[in-house]
Amino acid sequence: MSDADASGASDGDGSGAFGAAIERGEDVPLLTGSGEYTDDISLRGTTHLAIRRSDHAHARIESIDTSDAEAMEGVLAVFTGEDVVESGVPNTIPTAWDLPGLVQPQYRMLATDKVRHEGTPVAAVVAETRHAASDALEHIHVEYEELEHVTDPVDAVERDVPPVHDEAEDNVAFDFELGDADATDEAFADADRVASVDLRQPRLIPNAMEPRAALADWEEATGKLRLWMTSQNPHLHRMLLSAGTLGLPENKIQVIAPEVGGGFGSKIYHYPDEAVTAWCSMQLGRPVKWQATRSESYLTDCHGRDHVTTGEIALDDDGTIRGVRVETHAGLGAQLSQFGTATPSYLYATVLSGQYTIPAIHCRVVGAFTNTTPVDAYRGAGRAEGIYVIERLVDVAARELEMDPAELRRRNLVPPDEFPYESAAALVYDSGEYERAMDLALEHVDYEELRERQRELRDEGRYIGIGIGSFIESAGLSPSGLAGDLGAQAGGWESSIVRFDSTGSVTVLAGTADQGQGHRTTYAQVAAEELGVSVDDVTVVEGDTDRIPQGMGTYGSRSASVGGGSIARGAREVREKARRIAAHQLETSVDDIEFDDGEFHVAGAPDRSLHIQTIAHEAYLGHDLPEGMDPGLEETNFYDPENFTYPFGTHVAVVEVEPETGEIEIERYVAVDDCGEIINPMIVEGQVHGGIAQGIGAALYEGAAYDDDGHLRTRRMDEYVVPHATQLPDFETDNTVTPSPHNPIGVKGVGESATIAAAPTIVSAVADALEPFGVDHLDMPITPESVWRATGGDN
Amino acid sequence: MYTNDFDYYRADSVGEAVELLGDHDGAELVAGAHGLLPRMKTGDESPPALVDIGQLNGLDAIESSDGGSISVGALATHAEIADSEIVREHAAALADAASELGDPPVRNGGTIGGNLAHGDPRSDPPAALLALEGSLEVRGSDGERTIDAAELFEGPFETAVADDEIVTAVRIPTDDDAVSGYRKRRDPLSGYAMVGVGVWLRTDDETIEAARVAVTGATTTPARLSGVEDELEGSAVSEETITAAAAEAGTALDADAFVSDVQASAEYREHLLTIDTERALYDVLDVGQ
């Protein structure tokens, strides 16, 4: 499977935990149903919140009559946006990323003036049961004056439509540029050829298995709010609730993320709903629970993607890429979600160099307000959209040059000795052996032989296609200073506490927040490796702002590299303190103490030793410590990495397309990923499987659409599908290992890689299959009907 | 979403169920509840009362009778039908449809009587029933009657089963000289039939003596394809016949009969219907391909 030499990953001595394919400790509680999700938690006197949402895409609220709803049995209160305003809370959902010239319209918890997308919250009902609350919704009478709406990001800025926000008359939230326009123009003028592609990347709906939920408990006597919620970043939510919506001091808010059933980005954000839940508890003095239905998730969870793009690539006849130029319209939805501005700008434009040495790159991004659900980061966020563009361009260019697409890639890969590589899109890549991963992927499918088979089959009227997706990902956005320079309103660090308990067990408190990634297993492996203890001796705690002092959360493939890096650094500090205690008690100098498999021993005298867990006990006894040393054995660590990490790899898909019906069959899917050192191969493989599934979903099945009335047309699971297991091929996964030189444990992250890779790989394969029909690109999702039409079946 | 409020009654006999339906205006029957309940959760239907007949005994038997027919109890599940040797031998199209329907939980819970009375135009059994010229035995306040397949499907989610009637059995005529089958193209989104074609043919070795072909999924109401049937009947068993017959798949249907949705347009469905009719014929006939 892997050529990882895991023991080289860590300078801990011993336990072999790092790199082991051990089973996930979280699976037994999750699979047997004892795991506790937000909706499983009930407090005495819990009431239930339901939210009345706009049926219109764009309308002015004329009046809201809540009296009928208020009179219903079981209904405790009905609140409108005016009630929230009158309560005097700050009532502002903030962006978390500024851009030059950014228009930041007001974003309130409940709408007061206009509704700007279908699903905008306009009123809140609190009742004794969730059914009573839900039933009351239709008895709230809202009168609207309908306004003309716009759902397409190009129409929004180019057509004469009423603005979504008066502050942005032309619906432009920002007009962003990255790269050197003049140098790019020059490169295009000098190059032998130019190839281009016009493409759309449709909106995707995240579809976490657990819809969002919140349970708020306001305690009037202490002025403290406890809020259980489906959060990928409880500390960030605490900060945004404090500074943005509720105005409570941070130390009076406890955010708890219990088990969280998936996020894919959708649970990063501060939405109105959870703030309304908390605010209602503050009004009523009773616990209030809100559990989104799947229908609400479709309408309100931030969507992903939504780009309309023209990409151009300039090359010489020998295949040397000279420049890339991209102009894209990115739909932001009706409001700016926290990273809605960063995702289509910095996270997108900066990866347009992909794995290639491209001397000149220029990208312009027009961020457009539309009367749609807000768009923000969804697994792959920005990187997926950017890599999709460069990979489509390379394929189209290969066709233009009549060159094999693998060969064209090979000629332009950043060579291993060029790292750290500074791209023309403003990133410094840490490390990479791109050709090694590509070769391995091509080897798995017998690439040359496969091309031969493709030619033979074409003669028989059968059409197989070979798709290649070579990608990089920028993971673990950091350092904080750089993020700040680019506009981030939050840091890129992570924090943890590594603590030996007095009897030798270890508790790790981590500021990240698992939603299925398996942190309780992988973090235990990192700590166990550094401390020389068994994985079973380590308990990982996440997701509670009162227990874990600080943290940034889990998103952007950051947990292994930034969170894991922090834990490793903290564990090393703990180990070094233990070493000093060992030296003291063994009556030798620290330099003479060796550490092996949890045991400190005197160099040259292996029988004079103390186990680290014994020292933990000594540290808390405090009877016999080195002079001046404080008791206890724990460290708090803040880790601010010096750079992103750059996972990479090449995926290859083999598809067969039946032109008569347009049906696409995926014959093989090979994924070669390099995520640096591998903490747990089984978990990496799981991430790759899930990522491929979501990438294939985007390529062939998913794609949210709005109808002419501005209503979400794909509003249910039978109208928008997450691919079923039966619609996916067997995944063949493999790894190369190129450690990240600046990360303490050499890891790069793998949370989003496969999602980024799979969409362009599949589209590449379908387009390759359809080469005899002159088709070089099809927009996602590629349905059988779109293939049938592209091949002229409808003529 | 949540369903609207409704009253729930459990009937202990067919007679009691009929009575309950009569007593509660707008009440709906449920057995497996796999058709109705999802539509109640999406708000597409909100009956004020449900009458549950899922626990009734004796309505799930699958039997062949002497008079040249088989009888499938209305409460037989799709899984039971898919596994039934009697159905496989005498009504293969229905066995095919039952085995293609939904997923294992749906097949284990959903019942044939409910499926056919529900009239979901995307479901599989309707095309099989039409091709097999089966009929429903129903009981209501006015006693028992029989509804032929040809009279059953009146529109999307509209059938000839009256509000106070209960399907007790599905009867399918048997013919030892006939073959039948059902072919499904699954909608990747819903798992329902994007196109489903049921075929029943009686042949001697060389000639197609009688043909019945029906569609589900592609059209707003399950329907017989008379153009295909006319082309097949009396023609030689040959690849040419199949091609010519399949080409007639859309001819007897109204232009607006085809469904258009997010996944597939009416034009594309009409195209697929020709292809899948051809493939369904090849599935049951021993020629070519």
Q: Which of B1, B5, B268 is opposite residue A785, by nearest beta carbon?
A: B268
Using CA coordinates, name the residue in chain A closest to B1. A293
pLDDT of residue B174: 96
- Is residue B211 situated within a structural domain? yes
Please tell me whether residues B164 and B199 are part of one structural domain: no
Residue B29 within a domain: no
Instruction: Say what the ipTM of the complex is.
Output: 0.94
Q: pLDDT tens string for chain B (289 positions)?
A: 788 889 999 999 999 999 999 999 999 999 988 889 989 988 899 999 999 999 999 999 999 987 899 999 999 999 999 999 999 999 999 999 999 999 999 999 999 999 999 999 999 999 999 999 999 999 999 999 999 999 999 999 999 999 999 999 999 999 999 999 999 999 988 899 999 999 999 998 799 999 999 999 999 999 999 999 999 999 999 999 999 999 999 888 987 999 998 889 999 999 999 999 999 999 999 887 5
One domain, residues B165 and B185: no
The domain boundary, picked from B115, B148, B173, lies at B173
- State whether B262 and A788 contact (CB < 8 Å): no
Q: Residue A727's closest chain B neighbor by CA?
A: B188
* pLDDT of A419 over the 90 cut: yes
Would you state the pLDDT for residue A3?
36
**Closest chain B residue by Cα to residue A714:** B262
Q: What is the per-residue pLDDT across A745-770, written as a single tens digit (0 to 9) for each? A: 999 999 999 999 999 999 999 999 99
Is residue A4's pLDDT more than 60? no
Q: How close is the nearest chain B Cα to the Cα of A283, in Å?
A: 26
Q: What is the pLDDT of residue A15?
A: 67
| Residue A11: pLDDT band with limits 50, 70, 90 | very low
Token pair for A291? 């559990």
Residue B136 phi/psi, 5-degree rounding, is -105, 135
Cβ–Cβ of A130/B265 closer than 8 Å? Answer: no
d(CA A294, CA A212): 9
Whether residue A387 is predicted with pLDDT greater than 70 in this model: the reply is yes
Q: Is the pLDDT of residue A90 over 70?
A: yes
Average pLDDT over residues A236-242: 98
Q: Which residue of A has its CA nearest to B3?
A: A131
Q: Do domains A304-477+643-790 and A493-639 have the same CATH topology?
A: yes
pLDDT 10s digits, A335-358: 999 999 999 999 999 999 999 999
Output the pLDDT for position A5.
37
Taking the C-alpha atoms of residue A388 and residue A398, their distance in angstroms, rounded to an integer, is 15
Cα separation, B221 vs A67, in Å, equals 44
Residues of B in contact with A724 (CB under 8 A): 191
A681-696 vs A753-769: helix axis angle to the nearest 10?
Answer: 50
Among residues B151, B173, B195, the one where a domain terminates is B173
Query: What does the alpha-carbon distance between residue A326 and residue A333 come to, in Å, rounded to a whole number?
Result: 21
Residues B152 and B201 in one domain: no
User: How many cross-chain Cβ pairs, A to B, lie less than 8 Å apart?
Assistant: 51
As beta bridge partners, residue A324 has A313, A361
Among the listed residues A731, A734, A656, A665, the one whose alpha carbon sits nearest the alpha carbon of residue A693: A731
Q: Do A783 and B2 touch (CB under 8 A)?
A: no
What is the DSSP code (8-state) at residue B17? Answer: H
Per-residue pLDDT at A342: 97
Q: Are B180 and B187 in contact (CB under 8 A)?
A: no
Q: Are residues B66 and B168 located together in one domain of the fold?
A: yes
Whether A244 has a pLDDT exceeding 50, the answer reads yes
B236 and B194 within one domain: yes
* A701-747: pLDDT as tens digits: 999 999 999 999 999 888 898 899 989 999 999 999 999 999 999 99
Q: Which residues of A touch B (CB under 8 A)?
A: 130-131, 134-135, 293, 295, 660-662, 700-701, 705, 713-714, 716, 718-721, 723-724, 727, 783-785, 788-789, 793-794
- Give helix A612-621 / helix A564-585 axis angle, nearest 10°: 80
3-state class (DSSP) for residue A679: coil
Looking at the structure, do residues B182 and B166 belong to the same domain, yes or no?
Answer: no
**Facing A721 at nearest CB: one of B4, B188, B264:** B188
The sign of the CA dihedral A692, A694, A695, A699 is positive
Closest CA to B229 of B243, B244, B216, B210: B210
Residue B135 CA to residue B68 CA, distance in Å, equals 14
B138 has which bridge partners? B145, B167
- Judge if B168 and B71 occupy the same domain: yes
The DSSP secondary-structure symbol of A706 reads B
* Distance spanning both ends of chain B, measured CA to CA: 47
- Closest approach of chain A CAs to the CA of B145, in angstroms? 36
DSSP secondary structure letters along A95-150: -SB--TT-------SS-SSEE-STT-EEEEEEESSHHHHHHHGGGSEEEEEE----
Residue spans of the domains in chain A: they are: 40-147+209-262+267-293, 304-477+643-790, 493-639
Q: Is the dihedral of CA A248, A252, A258, A264 positive or negative?
A: positive
Question: Rounded to an integer, what distance in angstroms lies between the CA atom of residue A198 and that of residue A447?
Answer: 29
Rounded mean pLDDT of A490-498?
A: 96
User: Total domain count for chain B?
Assistant: 2
Q: Per-residue b/e over A182-208, b at no fewer than 16 CB within 10 Å?
A: eebebbbeebeebbebebbbbbbbbbb
- Of B173, B207, B240, the position where a domain reaches its end is B173
What is the nearest CA distance from B10 to chain A, expressed in angstroms? 23
Dihedral sign of CA atoms A473, A479, A485, A488 in order = positive
**Measured between CA atoms, how close is B67 to chain A, in angstroms?**
42
Q: Is the pLDDT of residue A13 over 50?
A: no
Q: What integer pLDDT is reported at residue A7 of this predicted model? A: 37
Nearest to B265 among A701, A723, A785 (CB): A785
Domain at B260, CATH number: 3.30.390.50
User: What's the CA gap between A671 and A668, in Å, rounded?
Assistant: 10
Q: Report, in angstroms and rounded to the nearest whole number, the Rg of chain B calculated over CA atoms.
A: 19
Q: Is 90 exceeded by the pLDDT of residue A2?
A: no
Q: In this structure, are B77 and B133 located in the same domain? A: yes
**Is position B28 within any domain?**
no
- Other beta carbons within 10 Å of A220: 8
pLDDT recorded at residue A10: 46
Encode B110-155 in three state secondary structure: CEHHHHHHHCCCCCCHHHHHHHHCCEEEEEECCEEEEEEHHHHEEE
Is residue A619 within 8 Å of A632, Cβ to Cβ? yes
Q: How far is CA B215 from the centre of its chain?
A: 10
Same domain, B127 and B104: yes
- For residue A613, the model assigns a pLDDT of 97
Q: What's the N-to-C CA distance of chain A in angstroms?
A: 48
Both B256 and B279 in a single domain?
Answer: yes
CA distance B114 to chain A (A): 21
pLDDT of residue B289: 59
Q: What is the CATH number of the domain that holds B83?
A: 3.30.465.10
Mean per-residue pLDDT for A680-688? 98
Give the domain extent around B159: 62-173
The strand pairing partners of A197, in sequence order, are: A311
Q: Do B264 and A295 touch (CB under 8 A)?
A: no
Q: How far is A300 from chain B (nearest CA, A)?
A: 14
**For A37, which DSSP code?**
B
Reported as a pLDDT band with limits 50, 70 and 90, residue A794 is confident
Question: CA–CA separation, A382 vs A69, rounded Å?
Answer: 43
> CA A191, CA A187: separation in Å to the nearest integer?
6
Mean pLDDT, residues A571-575 taken together: 98
Per-residue pLDDT band for A1 (boundaries 50, 70, 90) equals very low
User: Does B39 fall in a domain?
Assistant: no
DSSP characters for A561-609?
Answer: IIIHHHHHHHHHHHHHHHHHHHHHHTTS-GGGEEEETTEEEETTEEEEE
Q: Do B68 and B120 fall into the same domain?
A: yes
Candidates 3.40.50.300, 1.10.357.10, 3.30.365.10, 1.10.287.3510; CATH matching A304-477+643-790:
3.30.365.10
Contact residues, chain B to chain A, C-beta under 8 Å: 1-2, 4-5, 42, 188-192, 261-265, 267-268, 271-272, 275
Min Cα separation B157/chain A (Å): 17
- CATH number of the domain located at residue range(s) A493-639 in this protein: 3.30.365.10
Please indicate whether, in this complex, the C-beta atoms of B189 and A720 are within 8 angstroms of each other: yes
Q: Do A713 and B262 make contact, defined as CB atoms within 8 angstroms? A: yes
Q: Which CATH number fits domain A40-147+209-262+267-293: 3.40.1170.60, 3.40.50.300, 3.90.1170.50, 3.30.70.20?
A: 3.90.1170.50
- Tell me whether residues B262 and A660 touch, CB distance under 8 A: no
Of the candidates B232, B231, B192, B223, the residue with the CA atom closest to the CA atom of residue B103: B192
Beta pairing partners, B62: B72
Q: Tell me A459's DSSP state.
A: H
Of A661, A716, A785, the CB nearest to B42: A716
Residues B162 and B212 in one domain: no
